[in-house]
């Protein structure tokens, strides 16, 4: 079955509804460009009947495979399994993607109702003994089937998928697995709902103009727009990153900043949206699942299907990065704290002071600030510049298509075309925060690439962010970090758009988790290339390019606090691995996490805070025992970009090589094979350490 159905844990939907399948746009869609979803016709009441119908159809398709009287073959069993559940995959994908982008209380309520049905179906498939016997029969004949590389990989993945989802367990163990997987699914769903609710529950409204007078105009305007949208007077800060971070960076009011910082870092620690028990129970259940399969820890179970392969490899990797840079990270903190003292801070610098004095110190060191930079990164122009980069590297074009239905007025859709005009896919872009949308930035897909009867089915890719919103007087002006984030997610999009292959489960971003960040992180390197900044960094009012002096300051500042930034990411990876290398249940998750993160602690510890309670990546987002992958991919991207520098950062030849050997291959081959085919050798961790400490 498709991975969306099997592994999605974030659901949504609503009650009641339209029971007419004939008129349900999720089941019977009208004529649309390329078969894109008819979002404007999909109502809340359509989801439940669509799921019920699609689940029934998927069960029929699986039953047909099980009851096939012919001998099991690659086509009638393995390919049939890959192709089954297409309608359920379609309904599920739309439902879950929109739950992250345009949710509601009703949608989240239906999530709780639907999720058990999906988990039960997944378990019914993976634990079906007759189906497993057919899969095993084909697998045992694999050497005699004359399969090509892609077919062999599909067979291997299908076999492993059944094994890793319980097919080889005893009947008693299978029942245990069912219970564990069902409870885990529900807990992960509740975890993410709590994070969203806690994020939306806090806001700080300021009515005293004197408290915002010092803030840059772009921060004040955004706060005023937020207040107006809420029907409030004055200026409002929320826990959305695009709102919170500028306030922490530019406000000198320690009392207000502490309120905001504490609210963010204590999200879901007790209270109405408590996740402490969810963290404790999820970790415990994952350990139980690992033990069920004969592994000592959950990390051991997960990493078997990653580039790193083994827990000691990841722990050693993180420790190598930590030990090489922790002293430098502490020096970074002391330098900022000393600067604060020198400039009137008669207090110990706390985490809510960090962004403010960090920015002040950076301005003093490099003689520029974000207010100078933002006018050069107007969102629409940045988008055009990034499109231009893709055109130069890969020969593709992006043409807005207003005939494509979208799910929110903020969203725009683009035809992505090859140089010769051939259709490559659709790209949806959804840039701004709203209460119905989860935080952060991400790439996802409404449809992934596959080939059916020799005809390609091209993908529908979505780029979602929470960038600075436009105000009544200014367009959306990005911070430099937001500019880098845009490049990062666009890299993921290219990975999805350039997909080639026959089987959906092997195309696009369906690769090892610690490899999937390479295409995104390598694209971030262009953010500090002068030749690219000349294209993308243009003043939104004057049309002038960013002055070379300012551009060079930005490039120089990229090494600013590099060791601290590295340790921060290593800390996240360390916390993740701690939760997933436990061998006994955790009694006190706060104390546990405090101890786990002690070796990477740089800023002062604040009581009442806890990262794990809002760490969606590992407790509801698929990165369990995998957060190290960001640093792992950083090693890859630091080395990979050297190839682009050698051949030219706009080299079509190099772009085509990266597209052919990495972006288009999906999960057909082991990632290291793909990397070496592009780069010519394996990467080394020391190269990244040297880059950090340069």
Please state, in angstroms and rounded to a whole number, the distance separating the CA atoms of residues 501 and 664.
8
Please state, in angstroms and rounded to a whole number, the distance separating the CA atoms of residues 659 and 643.
13
What is the 3-state secondary structure of 413-439? EEEEECCCCCEEEEEEEECCCCCCCCC
E strand intervals along 551-627: none
Size (the chain), residues: 694
Looking at the DSSP bridge assignments, the partners of residue 412 are: 429
Longest CA–CA separation in the chain, Å: 83
Distance of CA 221 to the CA centre of its chain: 29
Q: What are the residues whose beta carbons fall under 8 Å from the beta carbon of 4, sequence distance 6 or more?
A: 89, 92, 93, 96
E strand intervals along 66-217: 203-206
DSSP class of 599: G
| Known catalytic residue at 149 | no
Please give the structure tokens belonging to residue 86.
Answer: 């297409």
For the chain, give percent helix, strand, coil, nearest 5: 60, 5, 35
CB 264 within 8 A of CB 609: no
CB 308 within 8 A of CB 618: no
What is the 3-state secondary structure of 297-320? CHHHHHHCCCCCCCHHHHHHHHHH
With 0-12 / 13-18 / 19 or more C-beta atoms within 10 angstroms meaning exposed / middle / buried, residue 182 is middle
Please state, in angstroms and rounded to a whole number, the distance separating the CA atoms of residues 158 and 138.
10
Three-state SS for 91? helix
Nearest in space to 352 (alpha carbons), one of 182, 603, 686: 603
Looking at the DSSP bridge assignments, the partners of residue 447 are: 460
Please give the structure tokens belonging to residue 546.
Answer: 């960013």
Nearest in space to 321 (alpha carbons), one of 92, 596, 630, 586: 630
* Torsion, CA 180, CA 186, CA 191, CA 193, rounded to 10: 170
DSSP calls for 525-553:
GGGG-HHHHHHH-B-TTT-PBPPHHHHHH
CB 524 within 8 A of CB 494: no
Three-state SS for 627? coil
Please give the structure tokens belonging to residue 538.
Answer: 């243009």
Please state, in angstroms and rounded to a whole number, the distance separating the CA atoms of residues 410 and 412.
7
Please state, in angstroms and rounded to a whole number, the distance separating the CA atoms of residues 231 and 209.
17
Please state, in angstroms and rounded to a whole number, the distance separating the CA atoms of residues 427 and 406.
11
Number of CB atoms found within 10 A of residue 49's CB: 18
Please state, in angstroms and rounded to a whole number, the distance separating the CA atoms of residues 425 and 417.
7
Nearest in space to 201 (alpha carbons), one of 271, 278, 102: 271
Tell me which of 150, 482, 489, 517 is the catalytic residue. Answer: 489
Please give the structure tokens belonging to residue 137.
Answer: 């029969």
DSSP class of 369: -
Three-state SS for 484? helix
Number of CB atoms found within 10 A of residue 684's CB: 12
- Residue 557, CA atoms < 13 Å, CB-side half-sphere: 23
Three-state SS for 138? helix
Active site residues: 489
């Amino acid at each position: 079955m498709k991975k969306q159905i099997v592994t999605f844990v974030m659901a949504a939907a609503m009650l009641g509804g339209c029971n007419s399948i004939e008129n349900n746009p999720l089941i019977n869609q009208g004529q649309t460009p390329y078969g894109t979803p008819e979002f404007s016709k999909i109502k809340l009441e359509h989801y439940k009947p669509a799921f019920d119908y699609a689940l029934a159809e998927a069960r029929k398709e699986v039953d047909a495979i099980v009851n096939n009287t012919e001998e099991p073959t690659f086509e009638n069993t393995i390919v049939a399994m890959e192709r089954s559940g297409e309608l359920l995959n379609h309904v599920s994908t739309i439902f879950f993607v929109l739950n992250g982008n345009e949710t509601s209380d009703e949608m989240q309520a239906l999530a709780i109702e639907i999720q058990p049905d999906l988990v039960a179906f997944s378990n019914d498939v993976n634990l079906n003994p007759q189906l497993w016997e057919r899969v095993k029969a084909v697998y045992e004949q694999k050497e005699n089937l004359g399969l090509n590389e892609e077919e062999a990989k599909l067979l291997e993945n299908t076999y492993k998928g059944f094994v890793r989802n319980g097919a080889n367990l005893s009947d008693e163990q299978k029942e245990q697995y069912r219970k564990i997987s069902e409870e885990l699914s529900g807990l992960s769903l509740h975890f993410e709902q709590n994070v969203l609710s806690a994020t939306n529950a806090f806001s700080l409204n300021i009515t005293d103009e004197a408290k915002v007078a010092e803030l840059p105009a772009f921060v004040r305007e955004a706060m005023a727009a937020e207040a107006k949208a809420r029907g409030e007077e004055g200026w409002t800060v929320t826990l959305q990153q695009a709102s919170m971070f500028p306030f922490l960076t530019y406000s000198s009011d320690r009392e207000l900043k502490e309120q905001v910082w504490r609210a963010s870092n204590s999200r879901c620690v007790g209270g109405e949206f408590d996740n402490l028990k969810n963290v404790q129970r999820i970790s415990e259940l994952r350990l139980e699942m690992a033990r069920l399969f004969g592994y000592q820890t959950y990390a051991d179970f997960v990493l078997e299907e990653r580039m790193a392969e083994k827990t000691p490899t990841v722990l050693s990797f993180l420790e190598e990065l930590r030990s090489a840079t922790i002293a430098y990270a502490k020096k970074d903190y002391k330098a900022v704290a000393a600067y604060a003292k020198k400039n009137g801070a008669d207090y110990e610098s706390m985490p809510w002071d960090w962004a403010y004095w960090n920015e002040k110190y950076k301005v003093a060191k490099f003689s520029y600030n974000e207010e100078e930079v933002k006018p050069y990164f107007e969102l629409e122009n940045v988008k055009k510049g990034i499109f231009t980069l893709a055109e130069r590297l890969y020969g593709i074009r992006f043409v807005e298509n207003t005939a494509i239905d979208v799910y929110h007025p903020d969203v725009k859709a683009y035809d992505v075309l090859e140089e010769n005009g051939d259709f490559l896919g659709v790209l949806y872009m959804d840039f701004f925060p709203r209460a119905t949308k989860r935080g952060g930035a991400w790439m996802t897909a409404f449809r992934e690439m596959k080939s059916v009867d020799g005809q390609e089915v091209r993908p529908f890719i979505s780029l979602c962010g929470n960038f600075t919103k436009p105000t009544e007087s200014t367009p959306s002006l990005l911070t430099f970090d937001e500019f880098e984030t845009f490049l990062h997610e666009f890299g993921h999009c290219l990975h999805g758009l350039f997909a080639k292959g026959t089987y959906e489960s092997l195309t696009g971003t369906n690769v090892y988790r610690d490899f999937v960040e390479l295409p995104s992180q390598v694209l971030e390197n262009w953010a500090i290339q002068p030749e690219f900044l000349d294209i993308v960094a243009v003043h939104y009012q004057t049309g002038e390019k960013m002055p070379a002096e300012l551009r060079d300051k930005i490039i120089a500042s990229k090494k600013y606090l590099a060791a601290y930034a590295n340790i921060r990411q290593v800390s996240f990876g360390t916390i993740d691995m701690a939760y997933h290398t436990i061998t006994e249940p955790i009694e006190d998750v706060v104390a546990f996490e405090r101890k786990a993160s002690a070796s990477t602690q740089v800023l002062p510890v604040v009581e009442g805070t806890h990262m794990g309670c809002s760490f969606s990546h590992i407790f509801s987002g698929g990165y369990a025992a995998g957060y190290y992958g960001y640093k792992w991919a950083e090693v890859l991207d630091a080395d990979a970009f050297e190839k682009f520098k050698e051949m030219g950062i706009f080299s079509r030849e190099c772009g085509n090589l990266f597209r052919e050997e990495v972006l288009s291959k999906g999960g057909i081959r082991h990632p290291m094979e793909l990397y070496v085919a592009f780069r010519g050798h394996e990467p080394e961790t020391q190269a990244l350490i040297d880059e950090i400490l340069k």
